[in-house]
Chain A
Amino acid sequence: MSYEAVLAELLALREQVTGVTETAVAAVDGLLVAADTEIVRPEVISALAAAALGLGKRTGYETGLGDLREVVIRCGRGHVVVYSIRDEGLLVVVGDEGLDVARLHVVSRKTVERLAGLLVEETPRPA
């Protein structure tokens, strides 16, 4: 099942990166696909992450800084990081103060690649 595979990716990310506490995958419009969450509301974080991603992309475009890598929100008690999955989806990662941000950026690149493979369109079957 695709859902199980997406969830397995989220669990693997939490296992591999110290400080990751919750994750979710959503369509780029904020519609939830799968979540590994504990406290945050999956639908809400998906919608907010979509808004943050859109804002980040637009800001990057306006400032001429090139393509968006990720959106990082740092708060007193942790981080929220949003990655784009091609043009169709997003991965949002919530972590605590000790989040290993450097490792997250390394590990998440491959996670995003695999999620893209799981989420994007298949070749339509012949009618």
Chain B
Amino acid sequence: MTAPEDTGPLGPELLRCHRENFTGLLHVDGTPGGSLCLRDGRVIAAATPAAPGPEVLLLRSGRVTEQEWTSAYDSALPSGRLAAELAERGVLGAAGVEALCLLAIADATFALAAHGVRAVLREPARPDTLPPPLPLLPGMDPARLLRETSRRVRALAGWADLGVTVRVRPRPATTVRTHRIAPDRIQRVIVGAVNGRRTPRDIAFAAGRGLYVVMREIARLTEEGVLEPGAPLGGASASDGAETEGPGGLPRRRRGASMINEMLPRPRVGGPLKLRRLRALPPLQPSVGSEEENGEKKEGGE
């Protein structure tokens, strides 16, 4: 059974929607939040910035080309029959669309639960409400969806011991303990995308894979010593104390501390004084990870 704490207020409300045959959107308040689209009490689509949707899963994984998608999308837009259009063009069969939609819904719901659900709000469908581009019909049973989400959230809790969370930014291990001769294709993609900057969600988008699958593989690779949890963002300057804690605790610039006025030649009369000050900032330093991932986007598009 679904543990209530796994999905917060989402679980009970989703079951209530099912009992009441609700049709409309269920807005999920979280960071980031998202929404579930229901028809007659069943989940037909889900969307959140925290997990790739069907379009990203198809395009970024290379299963469908940009041209095929755009062409099918443009033709299907007036009628709202994108799935049929994809099937007719031989791009993706009906079973493929259904599997993809199921995966995307389960993944988005997992992502919402993993980031924490603060509240949920119903928005009943109006006659002019646009349907989602790729609905799962007749929709996923909420009880089944919650069972699956609960299982995934429990797996996520188990990965926390490895330091693998939704916010971790993994990086290649400095010393690899074991050697894998033939890693899976998805593991190769993940290892290629990991650079200490990206969260599992970023890697999922880059690779066109589901968030849960990416996190599971990151956990495996971390356990095998191939990857390790990266330092939090801004960690390089965290030792400076409260001064560099982020927006709330930004350091105050002390006037004249940079001594830049002493270093620069006298300003020209009538010159753009403010711009000169911007130019006078210290030279650009190399950004984190900029040297590591040249060409990664190509990799992600496989």
Interface residues of A (CB under 8 A from B): 1-6, 8-9, 11-12, 14-15, 18-19, 21, 27-29, 31-39, 42, 76-77, 88-89, 96-100, 103, 110-111, 114, 118-123, 125
Contacts and interface: CB of A to CB of B under 8 A. Distances in A.
B231 to A, nearest CB: 11
B281 A96 contact: no
16 contacts: A1-B251, A2-B281, A4-B244, A8-B237, A8-B250, A9-B250, A11-B234, A15-B246, A18-B50, A28-B275, A32-B284, A39-B293, A42-B284, A96-B205, A114-B247, A119-B277
B50 A98 contact: yes
Given A1-B251, A6-B281, A121-B277, 7 more contacts: A1-B257, A11-B233, A15-B246, A39-B296, A77-B59, A97-B52, A122-B277
Interface residues of B, number: 52
Interface of B: 31-32, 48-53, 55-56, 59-60, 66, 70, 195, 197, 201-202, 205-206, 233-234, 237, 244, 246-247, 250-251, 253, 255-258, 261, 273-275, 277-279, 281-282, 284-285, 287-290, 293-294, 296-297
A34 B281 contact: yes
Contacts of B31: 18
A81 to B, nearest CB: 14
A2 B258 contact: yes
A119 B233 CA distance: 22
Contacts of B56: 97-98
A35 B287 contact: yes
Contacts of B48: 98
A4 B254 CA distance: 13
Contact of A88 (B250, B275, B294): B275
A15 B233 contact: yes
Given A19-B49, A27-B278, A114 B250 contact: yes
A36 B287 contact: yes
A88 B278 contact: yes
A84 B99 CA distance: 44
Contacts, number: 127
Contacts of B253: 2, 5, 118, 122
Contact of B202 (A12, A21, A33): A21
Contacts of B251: 1, 4-5, 8
Given A5-B250, A31-B279, A121-B277, A38 B233 contact: no
Given A18-B50, A39-B296, A29 B287 contact: no
B237 A4 contact: yes
Nearest to A110: B247
Top-8 shortest CB links A-B:
A100-B49, A18-B49, A27-B278, A18-B32, A98-B49, A11-B234, A11-B233, A3-B282
B110 to A, nearest CB: 15
A7 B76 CA distance: 44
